[in-house]
Amino acid sequence: MTPTEPHVYSVEETRIIRARQAARSRVMGVVLVGLCILFFLITIVKVGVWG
């Protein structure tokens, strides 16, 4: 059995990977900011500030 050689990414593949990672990071950032706002609002409602 011959050892498998590690896959070497081409320049184009690397560009696609970086673009996907950047897009996923942006979406994750938006989701996390949204959740922070939601958790803040839930806390405010639960402690009764808004009645």
Query: Which parts of this chain interact with other proteins (CB under 8 A)?
Result: 7, 13, 16-17, 20-21, 23-24, 27, 38, 41-42, 44-46, 50
DSSP character at residue 1: -
Is the CB of residue 17 less than 8 Å from the CB of residue 9? yes
Distance, in Å, from the CA atom of 9 to the CA atom of 15, rounded to the nearest integer, reads 9
CB of 23 to other proteins, least distance (A): 6
